[in-house]
Amino acid sequence: MATTAKVNTVAEITEKFRNSTATVVTEYRGLKMAEMTKLRRDLGADVTYTVAKNTLVRRAAAEAGVEGLEELFIGPTAIAFINGEPVDAAKALRDFAKTNNLLVIKGGLMDGKVLNTSDVTKLADLESRDVLLAKLAGAMKATLTKAAVMFNQLPSQVARLAAALQEKKAAEGGAEAAADAPAEASADVTADAPVEASADAGEQTETPVEA
């Protein structure tokens, strides 16, 4: 019966090693049952905090193909099998250890990489997936808002540009008209003046002949 129980325990831990997104190995020597219960509650529903004998944990790790954790399975061992966000679980373990120095974080495993105590602490210092997604959503919302404002301003900007171009065209037309006016007046004067003078001179030369 005892052998069957051990086999079942090894099979269960093996599946947890295989299916977890990350694992954190701890030593819980001296923690009371109430403290263990609080820790499990802090870790949340996505984390299974399992206490087992080191011989069974080593066998389960070997069957799951997990390597590099053997030296951590010393003393009273409890493993946090994480099925959710590793950062959140690491934060919960770190924060609990700050107020309960009997909990010792030894290391762990994530994405096939062995983590030491410092790595777990660094993981806990990262922002969680939910926080990063919230920041990303905020940034996207701000970008979309700026784009909407820009698009709303386009019609008025186009209208102002069209009005400015119209004013510029009208100003250029007035300047051309002003530049042409003196030339036409000069042409009229030049063309008419000699004719009138010639006519007056002709009348004066004919009068003495009749006399």
Per-domain residue ranges of the chain: 2-126
Express each pLDDT in 137-193 by its tens digit: 655 665 666 656 565 655 666 666 667 777 777 777 766 655 555 544 444 444 444
Under a CB-based contact definition with an 8 Å cutoff, are residues 44 and 84 in contact? yes
pLDDT at 210 over 50: no
Distance in angstroms (rounded) separating the CA atoms of residues 63 and 15: 9
| Residues whose CB falls within 8 Å of the CB of residue 60, separated by 6 or more in sequence, listed in order | 9, 10, 11, 12, 13, 14, 16, 17, 52
Distance in angstroms (rounded) separating the CA atoms of residues 40 and 149: 49
Distance in angstroms (rounded) separating the CA atoms of residues 37 and 154: 61
SS3 state at 19: helix
Task: Give the mean pLDDT of the chain.
Answer: 79
Under a CB-based contact definition with an 8 Å cutoff, are residues 90 and 24 in contact? yes
pLDDT at 82 over 80: yes
pLDDT at 11 over 80: yes
Alpha-carbon distances of 160 from 35, 164, 170, rounded to whole Å: 71, 6, 15
What confidence score (pLDDT) does residue 208 get? 46
10-19, 127-136, 158-167: which range is least confident on average?
127-136
Pick the CATH number of 2-126 from 3.40.50.620, 3.40.30.10, 3.40.50.720, 3.30.70.1730: 3.30.70.1730
The overall pTM is greater than 0.85: no
More confident residue, 126 or 210: 126
